[in-house]
Structure 1
Amino acid sequence: MSSVLTVRGGVPLAGRISVRGAKNLVPKAMVAALLGNSPSVLRNVPEIKDVEVVTSLLQLHGVSVVKDADTGDLTLDPQHATTASSSEIDAHAGDSRIPILLCGPLIHAIGEAFIPDLGGCKIGDRPIDFHLNVLRQFGAVVEKRPGGIHISAPRGLQGAKISLPYPSVGATEQVLLSATRAEGITELIGAAVEPEIIDLIAVLQKMGAIINVQSERTIRIEGVKSLGGYVHRALPDRNEAASWASAALVTRGDIFVQGAAQRDMMTFINTFRKIGGGMDIEEDGIRFYHPGGKLSPLVLETDVHPGFMTDWQQPLVVALSQADGVSIVHETVYENRFGFTEALSRMGANIQVHRECLGSTPCRFGQRNFRHSAVISGPAPLRGTEIDVPDLRGGFSHLIAALAATGTSRVTGIDVINRGYERFTDKLAALGADVDLSTSSGV
């Protein structure tokens, strides 16, 4: 059985919703609890699929995960960590890539780790080579086995000097989670410095880690013999907040996003204003709204932090389809992230994708035959259609296009959206969307 969302478009979204802890931090903070010798408490935890997956994986490895029924806070106790069977890991991981981040903590805790063959959103090549190379540099032995990869460290993990060819968020997380209890000093050059990375460093520092964030994307970690637990409130999800902001523009609506934090969204806020979006920044959140009149086109490039996030790009492309003129978007982080535009074109959007770098500087995808630039002409009236969700952010983007379209859309595969958007159907209802959720046998 799969879920089907029927969307009757043309209704401006208006009202108040809230965002909680960031999808790009909370699962990683949960994994970090494995490094401690006492329980940890994580607050502001959203009810999303990735949290369920990590909860199951930790429990398989003997970690107690208890959820407070009133607050939703998680207490994670790693004191009885143990080995899990490969078949159980594979069954619970599904298409999540989180298991690769358990490797360093599991090696510190029990001496070995196993990760199944990994899935994930089909938005580009997310090779685990970065992760495996990082672990090898720490002295880990990586062995390919049926169904996955076994990783061990007979002498324990050793500090290393690591240089990343690209500031990968996942590889930076791998280094942080592996280096904190490795013997000696680790220097990471070319690190990602996203707010979620800094929040993970704050978690590890609370546990007793010694981590210095230096200039030029360099992070220095002095390994310690043991770590304790932490008590931490996760930073809010800036990606979800930006998605609802784009939804307000696309539907000509007015949405107050409680929990949205200006400090982590400054680049998005600048872009939102350039398009012509209205906003009121308050202490407890941000009001995003369409002020009336025409939206302005723009030229945009995605980039690693502090640039314009790739996760902000897809919902914003839907908004740009309603701008008055020609916009150009150059995607430099994931090479196949414009696959979602095919459904938008069927809905009436005027979007052309190109292999060339249509940005200020050539990027690493320019000579590799990837359609990673888009030209969007608007405004283009959208009409309802049949949509199958391709990935997390693309799926939400299709959803807000359907909400703005004339007529009815049937959206399948929406379970993917649950990976990163907490109770999104409830939030749509609270904002006045005309939607119905049903189940289908798929026959």
Structure 2
Amino acid sequence: MTDIADVLLVHGGTPLEGEIRVRGAKNLVPKAMVAALLGSAPSRLRNVPDIRDVRVVRGLLQLHGVTVSAGEEPGELVLDPTRVESANVADIDAHAGSSRIPILFCGPLLHRLGHAFIPGLGGCDIGGRPIDFHFDVLRKFGATIEKRDDGQYLEAPRGLRGCRIRLPYPSVGSTEQVLLTAVLAEGVTELTNAAVEPEIEDLICVLQKMGAIISVDTDRTIRITGVETLGGYTHRALPDRLEAASWASAALATEGNIYVRGAQQRSMMTFLNTFRKVGGAFEIDDAGIRFWHPGGPLNAIALETDVHPGFQTDWQQPLVVALTQASGLSIVHETVYESRLGFTSALNQMGAHIQLYRECLGGSACRFGQRNFLHSAVVSGPTKLQGADLVIPDLRGGFSYLIAALAAQGTSRVHGIDLINRGYENFMAKLESLGAHVELPGQDGEADEAAADGDAASVAVA
């Protein structure tokens, strides 16, 4: 039976207008929290969003003896790792399936305790994200890994030593694993074909503040000279560029106007170029970026996702919703996750015309070519979207369904909205502030009746 609290009724057809704020990046903050484990003194992390991934990592840190408390300002955490200890396997396992972050505890726990236990991992189902990369990396540092029924048990009987590592693909998670392990490993670690996303750079800034020695070359090579001890840090997390782009796509798809306070130009330059090519307008000031639909038809485009500095895969799904309203044929080639275009089937049920292909339809071949994955799409528009029953498949796909429901005529019932809480802070309150007509079923005993009648009256969401 569906949890009624995990369903949202969305009455579409109203432009989103107003202001929202984005705080620290989901792809940085939990990792910076893990980095605090490496220190011999407390750390202060600011601009922390209230999202599920943060709560999961907070719980895991506390299980290992780290004291986590609120700081002096809103969104500030103080993390004290001076009493790190082993955690109960059953307690750790209680977090299994809720996040993929636990894998990044391996290096820090091996340094602090000499062993680590990692339960089964969750995360979004958007294609293969094998943890073999992580374990291969840890073995090169000298870790031994024993597979058990309830997870993986790791030890470092001779300590961890620097090494040379070349990633087969510039994986963000594997790069983070190397950084968090190498900073206290004996000797020098050289990582080639590394990820260089802004969140990686910000994590490097955190580690450098703690006393790490890390250099980044222009050819995706990162060199880490291990040190004996690290201290704490004080750091303000960079804003979430992925959430900012999601709201920008929502403004475009609903013909709205949204000011995203906290959004920064530097980390969004590739997205901003594409947003302008599609026909969206934006204005940048010191505090954020305003995104709006300037009127008139949107433009079809050809788009390929790629690792940074390319067009981020997390930007793709929300923008595809806007492309259903563009005139002509848009081509989208997904090169990062082989199954990320699966969310388009629901858009077609709403009236979109999207055809998926196994061939690489972008300007260059990718690693999914000839492997039978539907990783390219042709979007024909503009099409009128109609309300529908939607089941959220993953974080970005879920927000994309929300955008589609807001842009559609009629009422949509969106199931699984709790998944959006993984990466979007207070998204319900933000929708309300933008004038979205949304409600929870059964609220005041009226929502189900309103949905049946097609009533688009707005119900305030706290």
Q: Which residue of 2 aligns with 1:175?
A: 178
The letter of the residue matching 1:199 is D
The letter of the residue matching 1:299 is A
Q: Which residue of 2 aligns with 1:10?
A: 13
Identity of aligned residues (%): 69
Instruction: State the shift of 1:120 in Å.
Output: 1.3
2:116–2:155: 8 Å Cα contact kept in structure 1? Answer: yes
Give yes or no for the alignment of 1:41 onto 2:44. yes
- Offset from partner CA, 1:288-308 (integer Å, 9 cap, x none): 000000000000000000000
Give yes or no for the alignment of 1:391 onto 2:379. no
The letter of the residue matching 1:263 is R
Q: Which residue of 2 aligns with 1:72?
A: 75
1:168–1:192: 8 Å Cα contact kept in structure 2? Answer: yes
Q: Which residue of 2 aligns with 1:324?
A: 327
Q: Distance in 2 between matches of 1:252 and 1:75?
A: 41
- Offset from partner CA, 1:346-391 (integer Å, 9 cap, x none): 0001001110000111100011110000000000000000001000
Give yes or no for the alignment of 1:226 onto 2:202. no
Large movers: runs of 4+ above 4 Å: none
Instruction: State the shift of 1:69 in Å.
Output: 7.3
Match of 1:165 among 165, 168, 173: 168
Give yes or no for the alignment of 1:63 onto 2:57. no
Q: Distance in 2 between matches of 1:431 and 1:232?
A: 30
Q: Which residue of 1 aligns with 2:362?
A: 359
2:97–2:120: 8 Å Cα contact kept in structure 1? Answer: no
Q: Distance in 1 between matches of 2:160 and 2:88?
A: 23
Give yes or no for the alignment of 1:268 onto 2:253. no
Q: Which residue of 1 aligns with 2:348?
A: 345
- Offset from partner CA, 1:44-80 (integer Å, 9 cap, x none): 0001000000000000011100023751200000111
2:162–2:189: 8 Å Cα contact kept in structure 1? Answer: yes
Q: Which residue of 2 aligns with 1:422?
A: 425
1:57–1:93: 8 Å Cα contact kept in structure 2? Answer: no
Q: Which residue of 1 aligns with 2:455?
A: none
Q: Distance in 2 between matches of 1:255 and 1:26?
A: 25
Q: Distance in 2 between matches of 1:406 and 1:417?
A: 22
- 3-state SS, counterpart of residue 421 of structure 2: helix
Instruction: State the shift of 1:171 in Å.
Output: 0.1
Q: Which residue of 2 aligns with 1:105?
A: 108
Q: Distance in 2 between matches of 1:134 and 1:19?
A: 33
Q: Which residue of 1 aligns with 2:457?
A: none
Q: Which residue of 1 aligns with 2:414?
A: 411
Alignment of 1:271-350 (within 5 A): 271-350=274-353
Instruction: State the shift of 1:421 in Å.
Output: 0.3
Q: Which residue of 1 aligns with 2:208?
A: 205
Q: Which residue of 1 aligns with 2:98?
A: 95
Instruction: State the shift of 1:227 in Å.
Output: 0.1
Q: Which residue of 2 aligns with 1:401?
A: 404
Q: Distance in 2 between matches of 1:262 and 1:410?
A: 34
1:3–1:438: 8 Å Cα contact kept in structure 2? Answer: no
Q: Distance in 2 between matches of 1:304 and 1:419?
A: 22
- Offset from partner CA, 1:191-246 (integer Å, 9 cap, x none): 00000000000000000000000121000000001000000000000000000000
2:96–2:120: 8 Å Cα contact kept in structure 1? Answer: no
Q: Distance in 1 between matches of 2:131 and 2:6?
A: 31
**TM-score (normalised: structure 1):** 0.98
Aligned-pair RMSD on alpha carbons? 1.0
Q: Distance in 1 between matches of 2:347 and 2:422?
A: 22
**TM-score (normalised: structure 2):** 0.94
Residue 439 to residue 24, structure 1, CA distance change in 2 (3 Å): farther
Unmatched 5+ residue regions in structure 2? 444-462
- 3-state SS, counterpart of residue 324 of structure 1: strand
1:7–1:436: 8 Å Cα contact kept in structure 2? Answer: yes
2:56–2:98: 8 Å Cα contact kept in structure 1? Answer: no
Instruction: State the shift of 1:93 in Å.
Output: 3.7
- Offset from partner CA, 1:415-439 (integer Å, 9 cap, x none): 1100000000100000000001247
- 3-state SS, counterpart of residue 440 of structure 2: strand
Instruction: State the shift of 1:118 in Å.
Output: 1.1
Q: Which residue of 1 aligns with 2:447?
A: none
1:53–1:93: 8 Å Cα contact kept in structure 2? Answer: no
The letter of the residue matching 1:220 is R
1:260–1:284: 8 Å Cα contact kept in structure 2? Answer: yes
